[in-house]
Amino acid sequence: MENMDIEQSESLPASRKEHWDNVYKNKLPNEVSWYEEYPEVSLKLIKSTGVAPDGSIIDVGGGTSSVAETLLADGYQRITVLDISPSALEKSRQRLREQAHKVKWLEADITEVRLPEEYDLWHDRAVFHFLTDAGDRKRYVQVVKQSLKPGGHLIIATFAIDGPQKCSGLEVMRYSPEGLHNEFGGDFELLESFGIEHVTPAKGMQRFTFCCFRRTV
């Protein structure tokens, strides 16, 4: 079942950026396995943190998801979408049309970036689990620590321990809430965690772990 949703296989392009940009060049937003029409779970968790409408929110690896669009519609004013793929960002910008200027769009690799501001809330659905290299994960955590305000919230969704082993033709890591907490360390308090079953457009089922942490220092 899981293999029905591999976006790309065989000869992978050289770089991470090329890989992801090719995915978005070749697929419609609702053809990728991670597609969801409405980001219900993410939105519910974001709202549960109590982040203010003028709080600054970053969607890391936002791709063509409708998180930014939905947050805008709900009155949030300071939204950033970061992605490694320029094609994904362009598609999202086009979908938002005259609203697009209300969002900051950042094209960057999250393991290499120095973010231009500090955030009250960091959202990542299905990005961290692609970091199979321990050095990349360490750099990701460093970027979170540089850029998330003390008291800020970190919402991360990864494949669960019994989730898929691959996505988009790439190996992934799979996490329990405790495993994810270990990656981020004691400066983060785990407020909430749960599992969900995501149904892909091809009707496959993928188990995810969702965690919401608060940065304590």
Give whichever of 56 and 200 is closer to ligand SAM, judged by the CB atom: 200
Q: Per CB under 6 A, does 152 bind ligand SAM?
A: no
Give whichever of 1 and 150 is closer to ligand SAM, judged by the CB atom: 1
Q: Per CB under 6 A, does 45 bind ligand SAM?
A: no
Helices 16-26 & 86-96 angle (0-180, nearest 10): 40
What single DSSP character describes residue 74? T
Distance CA 198, CA 75 (A): 27
The pattern of x and - marking residues 165 through 204 that bind ligand SAM according to CB under 6 A reads: ----------------------------------------
Distance CA 206, CA 171 (A): 15
Encode burial over 38-77: b for 16+ CB neighbours within 10 A, e otherwise.
Answer: ebebbbebbeebebeeebbbbbbbbbbbbbbbbbbeeebe
Q: Which stretch binds ligand SAM (CB under 6 A): 44-52, 103-111, 190-198, 207-215?
A: 103-111
Q: Per CB under 6 A, does 87 bind ligand SAM?
A: no
Q: Per CB under 6 A, does 158 bind ligand SAM?
A: no
Residue 172 token pair: 């992934």
Report whether 82 contacts 110 (CB < 8 A).
Answer: yes
Q: Which of 5, 69, 83, 183 binds ligand SAM (CB under 6 A)?
A: 83
Task: Report in angstroms how near the CB of residue 4 gets to ligand SAM at its nearest.
Answer: 15
Q: Per CB under 6 A, does 85 bind ligand SAM?
A: yes
Q: Per CB under 6 A, does 126 bind ligand SAM?
A: yes
Q: Per CB under 6 A, does 88 bind ligand SAM?
A: yes
Distance CA 16, CA 206 (A): 23
